[in-house]
């Protein structure tokens, strides 16, 4: 059975690119275009991983991540950002791996593996 991922990004082109990349990595992919939609999808079903854009209008990626972790402690999360480098973001709900855009497929694979291994 394939692992599942929810991709959350307000940019359709980024969602499409991530959908292709994550499918190539063997994931069953679902999408959301904003934080509130992501919260609805996470409430409907569990995902092995949620990938969130850092900067989204309305509800940011970190705010969405905190709400997801509040409802699903231990949920594997990965933030992606065109405004920051790679590393860890410390939040009230723990550390979240952060991957800077643009990235190569191998960098995404490593970040995904790290996020799955870093579940709280």
Task: Tell me how far apart the alpha carbons of residues 42 and 52 are, in angstroms, rounded to a whole number.
Answer: 12
Beta carbons of 96 and 79 less than 8 angstroms apart = yes
Q: What is the pLDDT of residue 100?
A: 86
pLDDT of residue 118: 72
- Residues 13-51 pLDDT 10s: 999 999 999 999 999 999 999 999 999 999 999 899 999
Q: How many residues does the chain have?
A: 120
Per residue in 66-102, pLDDT (tens digit) is 999 999 988 999 999 877 555 555 555 567 888 988 8
d(CA 72, CA 25): 24
Q: What's the CATH number where 24 sits?
A: 3.40.50.2300
- Compute the distance between CA of residue 25 and CA of residue 110 in angstroms, rounded to an integer: 11
* Distance, CA of 74 to CA of 7 (rounded, Å): 18
Q: In the structure encoding, which two tokens stand for residue 74, read together?
A: 């231990």
* Rounded Cα–Cα distance for residues 61 and 95 (Å): 13
Closest-CA residue to 111 (of 71, 91, 93, 84): 84
Name the domain count of the chain. 1
What pLDDT score does 19 carry? 97
Q: Say yes or no to pLDDT of 120 above 70.
A: no
The band of 56, judged by pLDDT with boundaries at 50, 70 and 90, is very high
Owning domain of residue 95: 3-117
- DSSP 3-state of 22: helix
Q: Are 78 and 113 in contact (CB under 8 A)?
A: no
């Amino acid at each position: 059975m394939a692992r599942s991922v929810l991709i959350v990004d307000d940019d359709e082109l980024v969602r499409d690119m991530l959908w292709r990349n994550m499918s190539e990595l063997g994931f069953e992919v679902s999408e959301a275009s904003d934080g509130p939609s992501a919260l609805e999808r996470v409430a409907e079903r569990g995902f092995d991983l949620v990938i969130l854009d850092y900067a989204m209008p309305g509800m940011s990626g970190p705010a969405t991540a905190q709400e997801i972790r509040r409802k699903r402690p231990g949920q594997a999360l990965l933030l992606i950002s065109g405004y920051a480098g790679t590393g860890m973001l410390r939040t009230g709900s723990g550390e979240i791996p952060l991957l800077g855009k643009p990235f190569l497929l191998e960098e995404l694979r490593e970040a995904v593996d790290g996020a799955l291994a870093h579940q709280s």
